[in-house]
Amino acid sequence: MLFFAVFFVAITCYRGDIGSFSIDEAVVCVDVDDSAIPWGVGDKFDFGVRQLCVLLGYSGGDDDTVRFKWFFKGQLIHEEVQILGDGGSYRMFYILREDGSPLPVGPYSVQIDVNDRMARKMAFSVEEGPDASVNSQ
């Protein structure tokens, strides 16, 4: 009976394996150029920014599932799932508002899950700066 209890717990708690997947680089930035070089990298962005990007450099990734969860003030605001099948490269994931307006001021985070297991979580914020009134017009 103890065997079945342990077996049941093992099956219900197993959430996948990161396996050979490895995150080589993960940065929050304003955008990337055509060569996948990030610009505007940071963890604090001035109000007026209309999009932010996470550049993910990875190795492995053969048929691994990557889930990006974007949070604003602790609440899930966007989720995206991709299956990686090319053994490694770069991927860009963006957050922006549909109407093109600036991202709201406040704390954000992005969580990267690989095969339903958290691999990385990064916090950043959009803040009012000295020229916020200029950016908001």
Q: What is the pLDDT of residues 16-42, one digit of tens each?
A: 445 677 889 999 999 999 888 999 999
Q: Pull the structure tokens for residue 70.
A: 């974007």
Residue 87 maps to a domain? yes
Task: Please report whether residue 5 resides in a domain.
Answer: no
Q: Is residue 134 part of a domain?
A: no
Our count of domains for the chain comes to 1
Output the pTM of the full model: 0.77
Domain contains 100: yes
Beta-carbon contacts of residue 21 (< 8 Å; ≥ 6 apart): 58, 59, 60, 61, 64, 84, 114, 115, 119
Flag whether 137 is in a domain: no
Residue 113 belongs to some domain of the structure: yes
What is the reported pLDDT for 36?
A: 85
Q: What is the extent of the structural domain holding 49?
A: 17-129
Q: What CATH number is attached to the domain comprising 107?
A: 2.60.40.2550
Q: Is residue 32 part of a domain?
A: yes
122, 54 Cβ separation under 8 angstroms: yes
Average pLDDT, the chain: 82
Does residue 24 sit within a domain? yes
